Amino acid sequence: MADRHAQQSGGSGAHQQIPEPFVTFYGEECLHADDTVTYLPPNDNPKAGTLLVTTFRLLFKSTDSDEYHVELPLGAIDKFEKVGGATSRGAYAYGVEIHSKDLRTLRFAHNPKEHSRRRLYELLSRHVFPLSNGVPAYCEYYQGRMHLKKADDNEPTKGWTIYSVHKEAERMGIPEDKWRVTSINADYSLCSTYPQHLIVPATATDDDLRAVARFRSKGRLPALCWYNRRNGATITRCSQPRVGVVGKRNHTDEQYIEAIRKLNPTHPEQLRIMDARPRRNAMANQAKGLGYESTTAYPNCDIAFLNIHNIHVMRDSLRRVRAMCWPEPDEHNWFANLEATGWLKHLRAILSGAVSIVDLVDSGQSVLIHCSDGWDRTAQLSALALIMLDPFYRTLEGFQVLIEKEWLSFGHKFGQRLGLCDKHHNDEQRSPVFLQFIDCVWQLSEFFPCAFEFNESLLIFILDEMYSCLYGTFMHNNEKSRQKLRTTTLSMWDHVLAFRHEFISPFFDPAATPTVLKYPVSIRNLQLWQGYFLRWSTQFRPKEDLVARFRSMQTTIEELELQCAAVKSTLESKGVGNGDGGRDGDGDTDGGGARQGLDEGDGATNNSNDDSDGGGDDEGDDDDEGDDDEQEHTGQQRDGAGESWARPRERTVSNA
């Protein structure tokens, strides 16, 4: 049944309607349609069909097969280039090649006589990189928000308010006599890349905070991330100090670090500083007037270097992973190629650092984390340590809070690291820092499957949507730059909250897992995340969808329980199981009546079981296919979980 809020994709005769099987988003319009295009799959025959460019996506639908279609959000396009000229030889030599941020390369062949390639190239140049062309990103005119909020309602949606520093402080049980929530950065004047509210030592004055910020790179002074209410140990984070080659000192900064150390009632005698960088990198920064803390200036502090490489090394590693996985992995050299990427070694270094922090804090020692500027490796370490230390962050709500707190509010530069809406695809600032964090979370969930309330689908959804630009969540580089988006866009968490059932793991059992996860760091425990990196491969066969099977079994069990209750009610009405043993008026046992009831009950049970088993399996299969038989979606939005405003669940599509 059509959604009563649905609107046609065009809105006017100038735009073509978006065809099946694609679901249209609120406000999405088709800008270009070309039915003379041929898609060139890397391991299949050419597919003739129609290529469409909308205000949000690039779509291709084959005319040969209704099941063969391609979908790519414009925000996920990394770069595109023309291939061949008008005089190029070969049936498919003239066209466009598109490289995506989700590790695909799509190639389309055009007819040189139609001149459609030029139009496609112009549209992509304008809409793929809106921020480079003065065009708003799609999240700013996506109309899904109108169906969630009233037209005159300027308050943020629920997803934007899921994290509150005051609520987090209360939840963690932070003692107010030792720590305080300060609003000194309410106007972002203290540090433009930090959140408005910070948790700092109660003894530190605002003047102290300003002095410490001046001594730290980018003004990113130490602030509290997590408090262990069991032993009083803390995790704080910051950026590197401005010590330089001569070892410049700042008395206020030294006192501030000392105050953090002494606030630990269990081990006030020492604070461990975890520098995420290799030692040589930290020393090289001294030539730039920066560096790391010396034990002379910071007595009772012990510093450890965690040897996690910088964004440039990680970017090159991901490039190698892409080359290994696309279009198809080499079966004969799989392990050699995987080793050459260095990807798992980098994950091991990150997880090893996080586990070291967990061990220290769990034993009662406070830890201060930083890298260079404190928004890349620092975020990886703090977030992973928190997810292992605190079961709350392993819940669906808690994981959202964790990302909002440690990544978004503390200024991880999503805009630059992901190259969102920016045409400079060779930008040296791009790096898969957040992807590595999500990969590490997946590794933990594989090792501790009962410890996480959310499933793999959530992790992949987050990675896909951070490129899509449909939501305002990951836009720009810091909280300050995103302020205006809070009242004009949807948060990605709005979708997660509306479709919660899609992201819940049926294996979640907090009673069966320890409070603190002690992950044994070893390369043997790490594996390439095939569900993400190999999902476009035609050779990849995903593992059995245990979640879907579990849900189908649950449905069957519920049906059988209802059947059993009905049978029990029937038997009781026939007098079976009564205290008088089912006797008739003469006092004799009425065996015939009892037997009749049992026969009827057995018959009902058998028939019901047959129906229930079949119905349960079919229902589970329908869920996997996206409820195709129940919903019409030609150019229309679909309801989901009663929330017609939200982004609809899309059908599984082939992107081979």
pLDDT band, very low/low/confident/very high, at 154 (cuts 50, 70, 90)? confident
Taking the C-alpha atoms of residue 185 and residue 178, their distance in angstroms, rounded to an integer, is: 20
Q: Give residue 552's pLDDT.
A: 78
**Residue 73 exposure: Cα atoms within 13 Å on the Cβ side:** 21
3-state DSSP assignment of residue 307: coil
CA 629 to chain centre: 29
Please name every residue paired with 180 in a beta bridge, in sequence order, or none if there are none: 200
For 416, 445, 466, the CA distances from 426, given in Å and listed in that order, are: 11, 33, 19
Tell me what pLDDT residue 74 has: 94
Contacts of 186 (CB under 8 A, 6+ apart): 196, 197
Please compute, for residue 619, the number of CA atoms within 13 A of its CA located in the half-sphere on the CB side: 16
What distance in Å separates the CA atoms of residue 58 and residue 72, rounded to the nearest whole number? Answer: 5
Question: Could you give the C-alpha distances from 464 to 87, 89, 195, 252, 509, in angstroms and in order?
Answer: 38, 37, 25, 44, 27
Angstrom distance (rounded) from CA 27 to CA 55: 9
Q: pLDDT tens across 80-135, in order?
A: 999 988 777 778 889 999 999 999 999 999 988 888 899 999 999 988 988 778 77
State the Cα–Cα distance between residues 229 and 235, nearest whole angstrom.
12
* pLDDT beyond 60 at 601: no
Ordered strands of the 69-73 beta sheet: 69-73, 57-62, 47-54, 30-39, 105-109, 95-100, 77-83
> Is 287 annotated in some ligand binding site?
yes
pLDDT given for residue 639 in this prediction: 37
- 467, exposed or middle or buried, with CB in 10 Å at 0-12, 13-18, 19+? buried
101 is in an annotated binding site: no
As given in the structure block, the two tokens for residue 448 are 């501790």
Task: Give the neighbor-by-neighbor strand order of the sheet with 223-227.
Answer: 223-227, 234-237, 366-370, 271-275, 301-305
DSSP conformation class of 158: G
Cα–Cα distance measured from residue 130 to residue 224, given in angstroms and rounded to the nearest whole number: 37
Task: Tell which residue, 242, 251, 253, 222, has the closest CA to residue 286.
Answer: 242
Average pLDDT over the chain reads 85
> Does 624 count as an annotated binding residue?
no
Higher pLDDT, 20 or 306: 306
**Is the separation of the CB atoms in 380 and 433 below 8 Å?**
yes
Average pLDDT over residues 442-470: 96
Is 186 in contact with 196 (CB distance < 8 Å)? yes
Instruction: Tell me the three-class secondary structure of 524-569, residue by residue.
Output: HHCCCCHHHHCCCCCCCCCCCCHHHHHHHHHHHHHHHHHHHHHHHH
pLDDT at 615: 41
- State the DSSP code for 504: B
Q: How confident is the model at residue 421 (pLDDT cuts 50, 70, 90)?
A: confident
58-72, 88-102, 369-383, 561-575: range with highest mean pLDDT: 369-383
Mean pLDDT check: name the lowest of 228-242, 507-521, 587-601.
587-601
Indicate the range of 9-18, 357-366, 496-505, 582-591 predicted with least confidence. 582-591
Q: For tokens 């769990």, name the residue.
A: 362
Write down the pLDDT at residue 295: 93
Q: At what angle do helices 433-447 and 456-468 cross, to 10 degrees?
A: 170
CA dist., res. 184 & res. 86, Å (int): 62
Tell whether 372 is in a known binding site.
yes
Q: Is 374 annotated as a binding residue?
A: yes
List the domain boundaries for the chain.
30-128, 158-533, 546-624
For tokens 């069966």, name the residue: 512
Token representation of residue 375? 């928004």
**373: annotated binding-site residue?**
yes
Q: How far apart are CA 338 and CA 344, in angstroms?
A: 8
pLDDT band at 571 (very low <50, low <70, confident <90, very high): confident
Q: Would you say 518 is a known binding-site residue?
A: no
Our CA angle for 466, 548, 327, nearest 5°, is 50
Tell me which residues are annotated as active site. 371
Q: Are the C-beta atoms of residues 291 and 284 closer than 8 Å to each other?
A: no
- pLDDT above 80 for 548: no
**Secondary structure (3-state) at 34:** strand
Q: What is the pLDDT of residue 453?
A: 98
For residue 224, which of 191, 187, 259 has the smallest C-alpha distance? 259
Cβ 343 vs Cβ 321: under 8 Å: yes
- What are the structure tokens assigned to 36, written together? 């003379």
Number of Cβ within 10 Å of residue 15's Cβ equals 18
pLDDT of residue 143: 61
Specify the DSSP class assigned to residue 374: S
Please say if the pLDDT value at position 145 is more than 80: no
Q: What's the CATH fold of domain 30-128?
A: PH-domain like (2.30.29)
Q: Is 211 annotated as a binding residue?
A: no
The residue with tokens 């925000």 is 75
Mutual angle of helices 334-341 and 311-325, in 10-degree steps: 160
- Is 637 annotated to bind a ligand? Reply is no
pTM of the entire predicted model:
0.83
* Cα gap 366→266, rounded to integer Å: 9
Please give the Cα distance from 207 to 252 (Å, whole number).
10
pLDDT in tens, 607-653: 444 444 444 444 344 444 334 444 433 333 433 333 434 444 333 34
Contact 357, 381 (CB under 8 A): yes
Q: Do residues 340 and 310 touch, judged by C-beta distance below 8 A?
A: no
Least confident of 162-166, 247-251, 326-330, 347-351: 326-330
Has 213 been labeled as part of a binding site? no
State both tokens at 194.
């930090």
Model pLDDT, residue 139: 86
Q: How far apart are CA 354 and CA 274, in angstroms?
A: 10
| Closest of 255, 261, 253, 300 to residue 178, by C-alpha | 261
Supply the pLDDT for residue 146. 60
442 annotated to bind ligand: no
pLDDT band at 379 (very low <50, low <70, confident <90, very high): very high
pLDDT > 90: percent of the chain: 65
3-state secondary structure 208-244: HHHHHHHHEHHHCCCEEEEECCCCCCEEEECCCECCC
Question: 375: annotated binding-site residue?
Answer: yes
Which residue do the tokens 């220290």 mark?
Answer: 360
Whether residue 377 is annotated as binding a ligand: the answer is yes
Cα separation, 398 vs 410, in Å, equals 17
Helix, strand or coil for residue 100?
A: strand
For residue 18, the model assigns a pLDDT of 81
Q: What is the mean pLDDT of residues 282-299?
A: 96
